[in-house]
């Protein structure tokens, strides 16, 4: 009786733990399906012309994503220019003055903002910039991306700087260096690999964002024409071309997806190898 | 290194000075303290910009949707008409309904898979497999939303339409939610894509919660003769508030997800019955119609949808963060005791 009961429990254990392993395997299926789809459908679209030409009108053969690549680089660079100083300094504050009540509140809302719907951030950038200058603008897109990047940079900088051993801070103070100089000259440089990680994570996130750009930078079929003019981007290119009714355009969407995915995968793998898995692929 | 060296030299000089003025050190001490204070205030101000952004966002969204709020009041929440063309009447109920249904579908499919994954990663997997497998699962989160949408339209939806949905309809077609024509793109497909997208969040956070549960819990359960599964359940119940928090975080992500859902849900403003029908969510409507808004009232109504989305996402995320933070602290606190 008791042995059959324990037999039953053993069976239940095997079945349920087996189901957990099955869950893990099912979880991995979409990732591989997505990667395979991108490589299969996008692989034969890509050639030198695809990377170096501007998009062409419907019906014309050829045309590429040169302007989208340029646009994404400009948007992300500009967003980084805004977000990195703010995020890093905020992260330093959270790490070096961690016990203050303000630090607690900021840390909390920074986490909240990281998970925030990016389309809402897009509406915000639209109302404060696009409505004023009465045009979709690269600058507005960069601001929206910067708002998405700031909390990521803040939290990863905080983590990185916090990991610097206290001995370094004490050594600085003991040598008679002021606290702020200790932080800027000794503590922050010691945590720089972690900070760089945060930068790359935030860049990877910003490069893939679409929803906020839809309302701010919108799209363009030409190259960069000024910060106050609409600008193309990889993600908007994928969106517009994939929902179009033309098979040729859809194929090109896959090609652009492959390029974007390679950029993001490269960043993720570098982050991974630099930090030995201390950080997730996305914050 | 060079810096340290120079400091040492300076100090040597200092002690060699014959007339060491007390007044001078006092003054330099004062400037040092002020410099530190300025630094603290400066960094605090930069950090506060995060709060400022959130406050400014609420303010702007409220301001810009005022036209619509004044015109429709609370009836905006249960109105079922969205007519920008003629009558200019706007109500968001079908959007709220669509958002709730797709998010619940995402939890229904996503949570069991995430928890199973978290259990494997925290309790079962050999140590050297943990890190690479976690990386693969989290890589899913690095894929941009628009690529999920692309895959959803051209790979997932045709597959479900041809292979899964007909079988589902044959087996469960007596239920109203599985009736009607099958398009491929629709509410159910949207829910499935969202489920895939929340898995990395839910599984990573609940894995952290499980990993933070002290080993004494597992050992006690095993020592009492529990099977590995029963011990795992003990661990789960120890960390349950954190796991609930991770699920709410996943809900937050599902509610706010925009591009992928816009591309696969079908974008029809309607209170659907069948999950095979096209639907709409708040985020999808904003993405679709924002740039086409022709009148001030229309734009204002869309921004009001954004305001509702903001408030819902805020509430969900604040709640989830509170629960996760508290439970991680509680669990980790127990480790220290």
Instruction: Tell me what pLDDT residue B244 has.
Output: 93
Measure CB to CB from residue B155 to each of A37, A108, A208 and give the nearest one.
Answer: A37
Q: Token pair for residue B317?
A: 């995320």
In a domain, A1, yes or no: no
Domain range for residue B308? 70-336
Confidence band, pLDDT 50/70/90 cuts, at residue B23: low
Q: Token pair for residue A1?
A: 């009786």
In a domain, B112, yes or no: yes
Q: What is the CATH number of the domain that holds A201?
A: 1.10.3720.10
Measure CB to CB from residue A27 to each of B50, B117, B253 and give the nearest one.
Answer: B117
In a domain, A14, yes or no: no
pLDDT above 90: residue A121: yes
Does residue B26 or residue A185 have the better pLDDT? A185
B59 near A CB under 8 A: no
Mutate to test the interface with B, among A2, A16, A27, A235 (most CBs of B within 10 A): A27
Instruction: Tell me what pLDDT residue B8 has.
Output: 47
- Other CB atoms within 10 Å distance of the CB of residue B227: 19
**Roughly what angle, to the nearest 10 degrees, separates helices B296-336 and B22-64?**
130
Number of domains in chain A: 1
Q: Tell me: the pLDDT tens digits for B275-319?
A: 999 999 999 999 999 988 889 999 999 999 999 999 999 999 999
Measure CB to CB from residue B39 to each of A180, A210, A282 and give the nearest one.
Answer: A180
Q: What is the mean pLDDT of residues A55-82?
A: 91
C-alpha span between B169 and B301 (Å, rounded): 37
Number of domains in chain B: 1
Q: What is the mean pLDDT of residues A261-276?
A: 84
Sign of CA dihedral B264, B270, B271, B273: negative
Q: Token pair for residue B308?
A: 């509702």
B36 near A CB under 8 A: yes
pLDDT above 80: residue B256: yes
Residue A23 and residue B113: Cβ atoms within 8 Å?
yes
C-alpha span between B113 and B119 (Å, rounded): 10
In a domain, A47, yes or no: no
Residue A121 and residue B60: Cβ atoms within 8 Å?
no
Give the contacts of A65 (CB within 8 A, at least 6 positions apart): A50, A51, A55, A234, A237, A252, A255, A256, A259
Q: What is the CATH number of the domain that holds B80?
A: 1.10.3720.10
C-alpha span between B161 and A56 (Å, rounded): 33
Instruction: Tell me what pLDDT residue B9 has.
Output: 45
pLDDT above 50: residue B4: no
Instruction: Tell me what pLDDT residue A216 has.
Output: 95
In a domain, A196, yes or no: yes
Residue A27 and residue B113: Cβ atoms within 8 Å?
yes
Residue A281 and residue B142: Cβ atoms within 8 Å?
yes
Measure CB to CB from residue B291 to each of A30, A119, A218 and give the nearest one.
Answer: A218
Instruction: Tell me what pLDDT residue A173 has.
Output: 87
Give the contacts of B131 (CB within 8 A, at least 6 positions apart): A276, A277
Q: Tell me: the pLDDT tens digits for A218-251?
A: 999 998 988 999 999 999 999 999 999 999 999 9
In a domain, A209, yes or no: yes
Instruction: Tell me what pLDDT residue A243 has.
Output: 92
Mutate to test the interface with B, among A105, A201, A211, A235 (most CBs of B within 10 A): A211
Tokens 């109504």 — which residue?
B301
Q: Token pair for residue A8?
A: 């039953």
Which residues in A235-249 are b (16+ Cβ under 10 Å) and which e? Answer: bbbbbbbbbeeeebb
Domain range for residue A167? 65-275
In a domain, B31, yes or no: no
Q: What is the mean pLDDT of residues B209-233?
A: 91
> What is the chain B residue with the closest CA to A8?
B227
């Amino acid at each position: 009786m008791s042995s059959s009961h324990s037999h039953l429990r053993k069976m239940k254990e095997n079945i349920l733990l087996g189901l957990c392993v099955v869950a893990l395997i099912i979880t991995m299926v979409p990732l591989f399906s997505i990667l395979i789809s991108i490589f299969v459908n996008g692989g034969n679209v890509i050639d030198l012309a695809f990377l170096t030409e501007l998009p062409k009108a419907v019906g014309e053969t050829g045309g590429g994503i040169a302007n989208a690549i340029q646009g994404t680089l400009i948007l992300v660079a500009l967003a980084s220019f805004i977000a990195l100083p703010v995020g890093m300094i905020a992260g330093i504050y959270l790490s070096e003055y961690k016990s203050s009540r303000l630090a607690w509140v900021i840390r909390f809302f920074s986490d909240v903002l990281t998970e925030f719907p990016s389309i809402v951030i897009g509406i915000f950038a639209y109302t404060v910039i696009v409505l004023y200058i009465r045009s979709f603008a690269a600058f507005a897109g960069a601001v929206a991306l910067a708002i998405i990047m700031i909390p990521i940079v803040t939290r990863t900088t905080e983590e990185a700087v916090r990991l610097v051993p206290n001995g370094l801070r004490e050594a600085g103070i003991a040598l008679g260096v002021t606290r702020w100089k200790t932080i800027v000259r000794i503590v922050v440089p010691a945590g720089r690999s972690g900070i760089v990680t945060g930068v790359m994570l935030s860049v990877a996130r910003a490069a893939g964002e679409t929803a906020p750009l839809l309302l701010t930078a919108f799209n363009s079929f030409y190259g960069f024409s000024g910060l106050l003019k609409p600008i193309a981007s990889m993600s908007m290119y994928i969106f517009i071309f994939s929902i179009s009714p033309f098979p040729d355009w859809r194929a090109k969407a896959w090609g652009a997806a492959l390029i974007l995915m390679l950029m993001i995968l490269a960043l993720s793998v570098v982050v991974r190898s630099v930090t030995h898995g201390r950080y997730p692929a996305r914050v | 290194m060079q810096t340290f060296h120079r400091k040492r030299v300076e100090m040597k000089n200092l002690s060699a000075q014959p007339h060491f003025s007390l007044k001078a050190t006092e003054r330099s001490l004062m400037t040092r303290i002020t410099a530190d204070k300025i630094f603290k205030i400066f960094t605090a101000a930069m950090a506060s910009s995060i709060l400022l952004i959130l406050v400014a966002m609420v303010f702007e969204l409220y301001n810009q949707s005022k036209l619509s709020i004044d015109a429709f009041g609370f009836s905006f929440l249960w109105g079922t008409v969205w007519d920008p063309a003629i009558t200019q009447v706007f109500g968001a109920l079908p959007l709220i309904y669509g958002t709730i249904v797709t998010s619940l579908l995402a939890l229904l499919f996503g949570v069991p898979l995430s928890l199973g994954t978290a259990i494997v990663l925290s309790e079962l997997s050999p140590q050297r497999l943990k890190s690479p497998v976690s990386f693969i699962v989290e890589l899913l989160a690095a894929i941009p939303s628009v690529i999920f949408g692309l895959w959803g339209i051209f790979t997932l939806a045709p597959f479900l339409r041809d292979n899964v949905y007909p079988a589902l309809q044959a087996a469960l077609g007596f239920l109203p939610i599985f009736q009607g024509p099958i398009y491929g793109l629709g509410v159910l497909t949207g829910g499935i894509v969202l489920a895939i997208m929340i898995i990395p969040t839910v599984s990573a956070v609940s894995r952290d919660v499980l990993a933070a549960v002290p080993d004494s819990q597992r050992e006690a359960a095993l020592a009492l003769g529990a099977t590995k599964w029963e011990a795992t359940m003990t661990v789960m119940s120890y960390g349950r508030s954190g796991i609930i928090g991770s699920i709410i975080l996943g809900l937050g992500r599902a509610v706010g997800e925009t591009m992928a859902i816009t591309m696969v849900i079908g974008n029809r403003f309607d209170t659907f019955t069948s999950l095979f029908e096209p639907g709409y969510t708040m985020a999808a409507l904003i993405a679709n119609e924002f740039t086409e808004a022709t009148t001030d009232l229309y734009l204002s109504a869309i921004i009001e949808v954004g305001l509702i989305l903001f408030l819902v996402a805020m509430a969900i995320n604040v709640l989830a963060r509170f629960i996760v933070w508290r439970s991680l602290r509680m669990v980790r606190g127990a480790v220290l005791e």
